[in-house]
């Protein structure tokens, strides 16, 4: 077996950083750190195996875990942001973000094929820097959710829920339409009988029925 000395050196440097992050992960500040779904942070993914996501330096990642889990757990679930040109379903586009001076602060694509659970200690260095780069808006997170549904093979269930929701919205729309028709009819009846409220309608109808009965 040939040993790649350059890669070995990269592993040793990452091991040193990893030991530091492990100590950091046990601090109260890191455990109680509250990140939010959709926020983008720099993340220490480190040197990993084979085609797993690897980078000696930080790369941005987006928080995918729900906020209840983010609040209670010292870990979170993230997906890295890369500059791949792949168009696979697990590669999600998002809008580029610029600062007030017009400088691009975030671009690329969200790579859902490398979703991973990490310690919050990997997100920047909370002792030195704890800033959110940007926050991905909800309409773009919806595309992320659809991508997750595809790669975990739950898209059928996802589509079923969407269809059920569409059916319920159409049913509600129909009910509102029927209600509006009924309200219009009731308004016409009030006008025809020259009454102001619903109780007067009943009184008027009963009186008309009595008058008709006496007439017969």
pLDDT at 120 over 80: yes
Question: What's the pLDDT tens digit per position in 74-87?
Answer: 999 999 999 888 88
- The predicted structure's pLDDT at residue 63: 97
Pick the residue with more confidence: 211 or 67?
67
C-alpha of 17 from chain center: 31
Please give the mean pLDDT across all residues of the chain: 87
Alpha-carbon gap, residue 76 to 39, rounded angstroms: 12
Q: Which positions ≥6 away from 136 have C-beta within 8 Å?
A: 38, 39, 40, 62, 94, 110, 144
CA distances from 192 to 195, 204, 213 (A): 8, 11, 21
Query: Alpha-carbon distance 124 to 44, whole Å?
Result: 7
Radius of gyration over alpha carbons of the chain, in Å?
Answer: 30
Half-sphere exposure of 26 (CA within 13 A, CB side): 5
Residue 176: what pLDDT? 94
- Model pLDDT, residue 125: 66
Q: Is 2.30.30.110 the CATH classification of the domain at 5-153? A: yes
Q: Is the pLDDT of residue 2 over 80?
A: no
pLDDT of residue 175: 95
Whole-number pLDDT of residue 19? 94
Give yes or no for residue 169 having a pLDDT over 90.
yes
pLDDT exceeds cutoff 60 at 128:
no
Read off the pLDDT of each residue in 192-197 and give the average, rounded to a whole number: 78
Q: Does 129 score more than 60 pLDDT?
A: no
Picking from 21-35, 58-72, 93-107, 190-204, which range would have the lowest pLDDT averaged per residue? 190-204
Q: State yes or no: pLDDT of 55 exceeds 90.
A: no
Q: Cβ–Cβ contacts within 10 Å for residue 167, how many? A: 10
**H-state helical runs in 152-215:** 155-193, 198-215
Per-domain boundaries in the chain? 5-153, 162-215
- pTM, 2 dp: 0.72
């Amino acid at each position: 077996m040939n040993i790649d000395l350059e890669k070995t050196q990269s592993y040793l440097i990452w091991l040193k950083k990893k030991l530091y992050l492990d100590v950091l992960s046990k601090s109260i500040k890191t455990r109680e750190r509250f990140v939010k779904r959709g926020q983008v942070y720099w993340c220490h993914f480190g040197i990993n195996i084979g085609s797993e996501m690897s980078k000696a330096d930080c790369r941005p990642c987006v928080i995918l875990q729900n906020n209840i889990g983010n609040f209670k757990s010292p870990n979170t679930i993230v997906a890295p942001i890369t500059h791949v040109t792949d168009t696979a379903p697990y590669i999600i586009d998002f809008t580029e973000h610029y600062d007030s001076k017009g400088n691009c602060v975030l671009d690329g694509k969200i790579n859902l094929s490398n979703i991973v659970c990490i310690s919050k200690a990997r997100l920047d260095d909370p002792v030195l820097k704890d800033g959110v780069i940007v926050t991905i808006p909800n309409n773009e997170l919806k595309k992320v959710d659809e991508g997750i549904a595809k790669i975990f093979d739950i898209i059928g269930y996802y589509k079923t829920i969407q269809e059920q929701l569409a059916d319920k919205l159409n049913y509600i729309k129909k009910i509102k339409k029927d209600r509006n028709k009924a309200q219009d009819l009731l308004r016409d009846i009030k006008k025809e009988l020259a009454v102001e409220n619903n109780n007067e309608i009943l009184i008027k109808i009963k009186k008309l029925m009595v008058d008709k009965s006496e007439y017969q």
